[in-house]
Amino acid sequence: MVVFHGSPRKGNTYKATTIFTNELKKYGDVNITEFFLPKAVPEFCTGCQICLSSPNENCPHSEYVKPVLAAIMESEALVFATPHYGACSMSGAMKNLLDHLDFLTMNVAPRKEVFRKKAFIITTGSGSAAASKPIKKYLVNWGINRVNTLGIRMFTNKWDSMTAKKQMRQERRLRKAASRFYSAKKKAPYLSAVFMYYMSKFIINKYYGEGSYPSEYWKEQGLFKKRPF
């Protein structure tokens, strides 16, 4: 399992994520690879679109992206943890990670392995629900089979400043969510993912055309003939 920490601070979000992952370990042999942002991907995406028109290895920041992509491909499950920030939703470091992985979206170069994976999003802060929505939408467009979320609304800047009763309630929610996530089986793909597949297939055929990177990638992977689901 790969865990992406959207903040370098080991504060509230890290506390919640640790409770979640520790619970997962009770159910089996769970190997965890952690990436702390922005350290793992310190350079901002420049919007050069090189990864959208050629193999992602050509990204100017490929030295950071390659180990992240390799970890994703080798894992069975992904966890994205981020605090909610008032100026936007997810942390800027988490947004930067997703920007660097934009080539995984359906209309560029989706990976068949991703369609078998599940993901969980943990957010903390008063706007925790707002922080998880764009991440979930993004992951579904990667083709991830199931994306579950849990928002921890704290209304305080420190976990330990919550009342003991509220801490216990949030810990129960995290442990229960971890149990369900561990036992979750693969299901039929999201309808939105199916729609994006057929829409991307049409767009790549009609507008990108033969010879473009997405077209050649889809052809090489057999995506035009067989659904990756």
* Domain range annotation of the chain: 2-189
pLDDT at 96 over 70: yes
**In this predicted model, what pLDDT tens digit does every residue of 48-74 receive, in sequence order?**
999 999 999 999 999 999 999 999 999
pLDDT at 18 over 90: yes
Percentage, residues of the chain above pLDDT 70: 99
Closest by CA position to 59, among listed 102, 3, 93, 92: 102
Please state, in angstroms and rounded to a whole number, the distance separating the CA atoms of residues 64 and 119.
21
pLDDT of residue 179: 96
pLDDT of residue 88: 66
The predicted model gives 100-127 an average pLDDT of: 94
- Cis link prior to 83 (omega < 30° from 0)? no
Q: Give me the CATH topology for the region 2-189.
A: Rossmann fold (3.40.50)
**In this predicted model, what pLDDT tens digit does every residue of 146-205 receive, in sequence order?**
999 999 987 777 888 889 999 999 999 999 999 999 999 999 999 999 999 999 999 999
pTM over 0.85: yes
Answer yes or no: are the C-beta atoms of 114 and 72 closer than 8 Å: yes
pLDDT at 87 over 70: no
